[in-house]
Structure 1
């Protein structure tokens, strides 16, 4: 998903009333204006553009990181949820270890399915890449969780 698709999805998936309610909370004049700012097939006649400040505000209000995640991925980066120290129990670390093992298995599964027919297709490469990003995020999250356990 690219940033344009992500912005469209975040605006339209806003769980508390859709684009009309989100636009109001963002201080925009109407839901129609917000829809024009996040339209997927922008023509040259559409002069409404989502600003960076609006994208940040929309992300915060919707509590939805898809724009941020899409941008990070486009830049070759991975986002990691930084744990708070009070949530760093041994059980939470064990849970993250299990999640990382599971996500590692998903990479292998995606690769096996890709090579099963001897033909590598674009959508299969995307599935492998998505599995790798998920796995890396889990590993970085695990590292940060353990770092959060450091005694001060």
Structure 2
């Protein structure tokens, strides 16, 4: 789905539509409607798209943006928000999450078919594993996006 289509659908399906969502994100309802329908020169800005996403809890814009860039999104669990820089504690968290991934995959694959709900649980567990890996890297110093010795992120 194109990011503008995702924004349009989010606004259209929000309770009360643009008239309700617009003021909540700092826009007149008509202005927001024009932005998501590309009426005239109106354009939806990134900050407004973020406010719409956070306020609505609807991640279609984010997911469409990521897909258009050849990426995907995963929800991050509270582990990144909890803080703490104890390397061994973060390593333990990551190993626990790894075992959770293994458990979900083996349980789901036991009957040689993975249902959509099983896939959803696996994706959630993999997201938590990735988050704990990022928390471990941050605990090592320099943050999760700090360059490595090879120069890459």
What TM bracket, shorter-length normalisation? Answer: 0.5 to 0.7
2:114 is the alignment partner of 1:105: yes
Seen in structure 2, the aligned counterparts of structure 1 residues 28 and 149 have a Cα distance that, compared at 3 Å, is closer
1:139 Cα deviation from its structure 2 partner: 6.2
The alignment partner of 1:34 has SS state of helix
Change (3 A) 1:14 1:97: same
Match of 2:86 in 1: none
User: C-alpha distance in 2, partners of 1:99/1:62?
Assistant: 35
Q: Structure 2: how far apart are the matches of 1:97 and 1:67? A: 29
CA shift for structure 1 position 147: 4.9
Does the CA contact (< 8 Å) of 1:100 and 1:135 recur in 2?
no
Q: Does 1:51 align with 2:45?
A: yes
Normalising by structure 1, what TM-score? 0.58
Q: Kindly tell me: are residues 34 and 95 of structure 1, through their superposed partners in 2, closer, same or farther at Cα, counting changes over 3 Å? A: farther
2:139 maps to 1:140? no
Q: Which has the higher contact order (CA 8 A, sep 6+)?
A: 1
Structure 1 segments of 4+ aligned residues over 2 angstroms from their partners: 93-96, 98-102, 104-107, 134-140, 142-150
Consecutive unaligned residues in structure 2, runs of 5 or more: 83-92, 140-153
**Structure 1 regions of 5+ residues with no counterpart?**
108-130
Deviations, residues 76-115 of structure 1 (Å, cap 9, x unaligned):
11111111248x888xx3798259947x7369xxxxxxxx
Q: How much does 1:54 deviate? A: 1.0
**Structure 1 residues 146 and 67 mapped into 2: Cα distance closer, same or farther (>3 Å)?**
same
SS in 2 for 1:72: helix
Q: Give the structure-2-normalised TM-score.
A: 0.57
Post-superposition Cα deviations, 1:49-88, rounded to whole Å, max 9, x if no partner, equal: 10111111111111111101111111111111111248x8
Question: Compared with structure 1, are the counterparts of its residues 95 and 13 closer, same or farther at alpha carbon in structure 2 (3 Å cutoff)?
Answer: farther
For these two proteins, the number of residue pairs brought into alignment is 117
